Amino acid sequence: MPRCSVCGEEFPEWQLIRCGDCGKAYCRKCAEEDPTILVLGVCPDCEEAHEAEEDYWDWG
Ligand SMILES: [Zn+2]
Ligand SMILES: [Zn+2]
């Protein structure tokens, strides 16, 4: 079974949320602790990279 890349526990694929960019896997619990993956569909690392490229937050 694939592992959550945060807590390292094994989960069935359908229970994991994957980063659309790098494919990093998050289990439900870890995704809820760091909801970037739930909200944006990418992990915080990739989100930072996106933020630098396209400033879609528009916070100035
Ligand atoms: Zn986890
Ligand atoms: Zn990622």
58 CA from centroid of ligand 1 (Å): 31
pLDDT reported for residue 13: 95
Report the pLDDT value the prediction gives residue 46, as an integer from 0 to 100: 94
Give the span between the Cα atoms of 2 and 46, in whole angstroms: 20
pLDDT computed for residue 52 by the predictor: 78
Beta pairing class for 17-18 and 25-26: antiparallel
Which residues constitute the domain of residue 49? 1-60
Range scoring the smallest mean pLDDT among 23-27, 29-33, 42-46, 51-55:
51-55
* Total domain count, the chain: 1
Contact 42, 50 (CB under 8 A): yes
Taking only the tens place, the pLDDT of each residue in 4-36 is 999 999 999 999 999 999 999 999 999 999 899
CATH number at residue 56: 3.30.40
| pTM of structure | 0.78
Q: How far is the CA of 51 from the centre of ligand 1 (A)?
A: 24
Ligand with an atom nearest the CA of residue 11: 1
Q: Is 13 exposed, middle or buried (0-12, 13-18, 19+ CB in 10 A)?
A: exposed
